[in-house]
Structure formats: structure tokens, C-alpha cells
């Protein structure tokens, strides 16, 4: 069994044990080329990804990352395992979840925000959840997933209405879609799972290569970008199903997508209030106008850039503590503008690169460019916030009784980043005891 297969097998304890064995091999450790890169936005099988949390940590470690974060849609089921795996290999860990909310009652109600298929609905991320609050987060998300799966069933029915007349077989939500997810262990079922079930059927019926590409174009009337055509014509492509999913997501999902209702997309006010109550860091996920998608699964569209002057102060009023964004996704001018506005409104900047496909590299060297270097320090501040507030709730970065509460946000982030960088990531639970011994001002 290959190393990745060992850390990506179905049994959690076997995954973790395999990672321990691999890390214990000096040759494995010698082969790592450490960088200062970090990534706070890695998806696992508990939303949609080819990786169990242990495998995601293994991939991050082999890529030389110093820290990695679990950010699943509507689920925190993979967070505990990711933290355990990070302790084994000595990576900094941070956990949270991503979900869609409605902005009714806000000054941007009715706007197209950062969700490509919706109005008045936007993605937000809840970062830095203290370990002792993960169960509360899990309970909070259960009604969201119940409503989401009601809609998922209707989406599968709508998809069947599209594909059956084209000669494909009807999909069954329980038999074809759910087994591709971790729903039985607290994972979410997303539109990607529905598309993945369709992908598997198409590959099974049509095979791979030019025949499949012709079927997409001539029967399904799906446009295949030139950048992906070669991948789909290559029968030996190890990422074949994920590449096909990317094509279908960008051009076919609109045929079955059903707008989520407010029972599924909770009020942004309620979600932000919950995040603040459990000592997490609610972050607005900036998308920005898209001209060309790096992952090939997003069309060119306009999003928030035209009304940032309204959005940013409204985020502050609602209670957001941060803005999260992905540097490879935007232009430098877009990113510099969002950075200036975060500074103006006292919002923390958090970065991460969306990992949910086997084709994606875990490395993202752009984060080491001078204009983004502060984002690595913010990551270590986020990690320190999470570990310290797990031991003492008042040590949360934004807690009003935090001993650094009187400092400017930039100064607090600098102090917390020092703590995070000096932390023993094999034993992060000892952070409070190690502060003095490491020479970091407490």
C-alpha cells in the first residue's frame, strides 16, 4: 500500500497510526523541504475532498507547509482528527467551518455577494474554534445539514429530469450520492457530491477519452475549456474524475441548482453572534470580481468590488472580526484594496487556498511574497488564539478581557503570532506553560 493510501484509508485509527509510522522514519523527515507556507482552508472528505484529515496533513507536511487548517462546508467532523495528525508531524493546526448565510436585514440585502449562483446569500468562514467548543459548533450545524439535504434530494430529482432524456440513468440520493460523502459521521453533502455521482455514471457508461468529450459537447451540450480538454482526452489521467467534475460544475450545475432557503442559510447576524459567543473568529469570505478562475470551475462574473464601500463598514457593524481571501484568485490591485479596507475598519486578514481536488498542489508560494507576508503571521496568531483560548477562554484574540485588549489589532496579531511561532506543535496544549520558557512576553 502506498504511503498516501495508508494515511487515507477508511479507519481513523489506522490512518493516524500510519502517519506515526511514516513520521518515525528519518528518511521521510529528511526528504521534507520546509517552507514558511501555511494554508488555513483545506477541505476534507467531511465536506468534499479526496483526503481524510490525516491525509490532508500528510500532504501539507510533505509539501513543506508549517501549518494547515481544516475548513469544511457545514461540518466540523474532521477537525479533531486534523489536530491529532498535526501533533504527530509537528504542524500548526487551526480549525473552523464554512457555510452560506443570508444577509436579510443588512445594508447589502438582495445583492449578489460571493456565491456564484445566488443573491442575498454569501459564504462566510468561522475560524479559530477553541477545541472545547467543537461540539457546540457541531450541534449548531445539524439543522443546517437537515435543510440542506432536503434541498439536495430535490436537486437530484431536478438533475434526473435533465439527464434521463439524454440517455443517462436516474441518480438516487441515498444510494448514489450519500455513499460518496461522510454523512454518517457528521459530514455534509454538497452539490459537488451530486456532480461526483454524475461523473462516476458518465465515466462508467462512456469510458474516458475523446468519446467522453464528444458526449459532453454533443449530448450534454457542455463546453469543455481548452485547458481541460487534454486532461479529459488522457485516459491515464490520475485526476480524471476531479477534472470532469470541474467542467460540469462550471457549466452544468446551473441546470439543477435550487436556491437555498433561509432555514438552510441562516441569518448572518445569528451566525456571527454564535461564532463570537463560542470564542471563534467570524470572517467574511471575499471573492471579488472574477475574470479567470485558477481552478477552472468559476465563470467570469462580478461580485463585491462595486460596493465594497458599503460592504466593509457593514461587516464591522454585524460583528465580523476578519476577512478571509485567497491570494491566487484575485489581482494584486483587488487584494491591495481589500487590505487597505481591512486596516481602515479593524478587520483581521486571514488567507487560505481552497483545496478540494487531487490535482491541486498544497504549495502556494505567493503567500511568501512581501505584500502577503503578513498573512503568515496572521495564521500563527490565529493558531495561538485557538490553542490559548482552549485553555483559557479570556485569552481569545478578540475577547474583551484579553490582557492585550487595549492594543491595536496589528499589535495584538504581532504578539499572538510570536506565541504561535514559538509553540511546540507536537504539544500545543502546553502553550500557556511554555510562554515563559520560550521567552515570549505573556
Domain ranges of the chain: 30-385
What confidence score (pLDDT) does residue 227 get?
84
Q: Once rounded to an integer, what is the mean pLDDT over residues 19-26?
A: 95
The structural architecture, per CATH, of the domain 30-385 is Alpha-Beta Barrel (3.20)
What confidence score (pLDDT) does residue 270 get?
98
Closest CA to 347 of 130, 133, 141, 125: 125
Separation between Cα atoms, residue 120 and residue 102, nearest integer Å: 6
Task: Grade residue 431 by pLDDT with cuts at 50, 70 and 90.
Answer: confident
Which stretch of 21-30, 73-82, 175-184, 294-303 has the lowest confidence by average pLDDT?
294-303
Separation between Cα atoms, residue 8 and residue 18, nearest integer Å: 9
Pairing verdict, β 322-325 and 38-42? unpaired
What confidence score (pLDDT) does residue 182 get?
97
Extract long-range pairs of 184-187: CB within 8 Å, 24+ residues apart. 185/46, 185/77, 186/46, 186/75, 186/76, 186/77, 186/138, 187/45, 187/46, 187/47, 187/72, 187/75, 187/77, 187/78
Task: Please state, rounded to an integer, the average pLDDT across all residues of the chain.
Answer: 93
What confidence score (pLDDT) does residue 150 get?
98
What confidence score (pLDDT) does residue 1 get?
67
pLDDT over threshold 70, residue 177: yes
Which stretch of 196-205, 333-342, 432-441 has the lowest confidence by average pLDDT?
432-441
pLDDT over threshold 90, residue 283: yes
pLDDT over threshold 60, residue 243: yes
The pTM assigned to this predicted structure is 0.93
User: Each residue of 93-126: pLDDT tens digit?
Assistant: 999 999 999 999 999 999 999 988 789 999 999 9
Task: Grade residue 298 by pLDDT with cuts at 50, 70 and 90.
Answer: low
Task: Grade residue 296 by pLDDT with cuts at 50, 70 and 90.
Answer: very low
User: Each residue of 328-382: pLDDT tens digit?
Assistant: 888 999 999 999 999 999 999 999 889 999 999 999 888 889 889 999 999 999 9
User: Each residue of 160-174: pLDDT tens digit?
Assistant: 999 999 999 999 999
pLDDT over threshold 60, residue 134: yes
41, exposed or middle or buried, with CB in 10 Å at 0-12, 13-18, 19+? buried
Length of the chain, please? 442
Which stretch of 16-20, 358-362, 404-408, 432-436 has the lowest confidence by average pLDDT?
432-436
Amino acid at each position: 500500500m502506498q504511503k498516501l493510501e495508508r494515511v487515507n484509508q477508511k479507519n481513523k485509527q489506522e490512518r493516524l497510526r500510519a502517519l506515526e509510522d511514516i513520521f518515525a522514519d528519518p528518511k521521510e523527515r529528511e526528504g521534507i523541504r520546509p517552507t514558511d507556507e501555511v494554508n488555513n482552508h483545506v477541505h476534507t472528505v467531511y465536506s468534499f475532498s479526496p483526503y481524510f484529515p490525516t491525509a490532508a496533513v500528510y500532504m501539507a507536511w510533505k509539501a513543506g507547509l508549517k501549518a494547515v487548517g481544516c475548513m469544511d462546508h457545514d461540518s466540523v467532523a474532521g477537525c479533531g482528527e486534523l489536530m491529532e495528525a498535526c501533533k504527530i508531524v509537528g504542524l500548526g493546526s487551526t480549525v473552523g467551518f464554512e457555510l452560506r448565510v443570508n444577509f436579510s436585514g443588512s445594508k447589502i440585502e438582495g445583492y449578489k455577494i460571493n456565491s456564484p449562483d445566488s443573491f442575498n446569500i454569501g459564504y462566510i468562514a468561522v475560524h479559530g474554534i477553541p477545541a472545547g467548543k467543537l461540539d457546540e459548533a457541531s450541534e449548531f450545524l445539524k439543522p443546517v445539514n437537515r435543510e440542506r439535504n432536503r434541498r439536495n434530494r430535490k436537486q437530484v430529482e431536478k438533475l434526473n429530469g435533465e439527464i434521463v432524456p439524454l440517455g443517462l440513468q436516474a441518480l438516487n440520493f441515498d444510494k448514489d450520492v450519500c455513499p460518496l460523502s461522510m454523512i454518517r459521521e457528521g459530514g455534509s453533502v454538497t452539490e459537488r457530491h451530486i456532480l461526483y455521482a454524475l461523473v462516476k455514471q458518465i465515466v462508467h457508461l462512456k469510458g474516458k477519452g475523446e468519446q467522453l468529450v464528444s458526449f459532453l459537447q454533443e449530448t450534454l451540450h457542455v463546453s469543455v475549456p481548452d485547458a481541460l480538454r487534454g486532461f479529459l482526452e488522457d485516459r491515464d489521467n490520475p485526476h480524471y474524475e476531479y477534472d470532469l467534475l470541474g467542467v460540469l460544475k462550471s457549466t452544468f450545475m446551473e441546470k439543477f441548482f435550487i436556491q437555498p432557503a433561509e432555514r438552510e442559510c441562516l441569518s448572518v447576524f445569528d451566525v456571527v453572534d454564535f461564532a463570537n459567543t463560542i470564542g471563534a473568529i467570524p470572517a467574511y469570505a471575499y471573492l471579488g470580481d472574477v475574470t479567470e478562475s485558477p481552478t477552472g470551475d468559476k465563470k467570469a462574473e462580478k461580485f463585491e468590488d462595486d460596493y465594497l464601500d458599503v460592504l466593509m463598514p457593514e461587516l464591522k457593524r454585524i460583528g465580523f472580526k476578519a476577512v478571509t481571501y485567497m491570494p491566487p484568485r484575485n489581482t494584486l490591485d483587488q487584494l491591495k484594496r481589500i487590505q487597505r479596507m481591512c486596516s481602515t475598519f479593524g478587520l483581521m486578514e486571514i488567507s487560505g487556498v481552497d483545496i478540494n481536488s487531487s490535482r491541486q498542489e498544497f504549495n502556494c508560494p505567493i503567500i511568501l511574497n512581501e505584500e502577503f507576508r503578513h498573512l503568515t503571521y496572521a495564521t500563527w496568531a490565529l493558531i495561538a488564539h485557538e490553542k490559548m483560548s482552549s485553555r483559557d477562554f479570556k485569552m481569545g484574540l478578540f475577547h474583551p478581557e484579553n490582557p492585550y485588549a487595549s492594543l491595536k489589532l496589528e499589535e495584538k496579531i504581532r504578539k499572538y503570532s510570536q506565541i504561535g511561532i514559538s509553540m511546540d506543535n507536537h504539544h500545543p496544549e502546553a502553550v500557556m506553560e511554555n510562554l515563559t520558557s520560550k521567552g515570549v512576553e505573556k
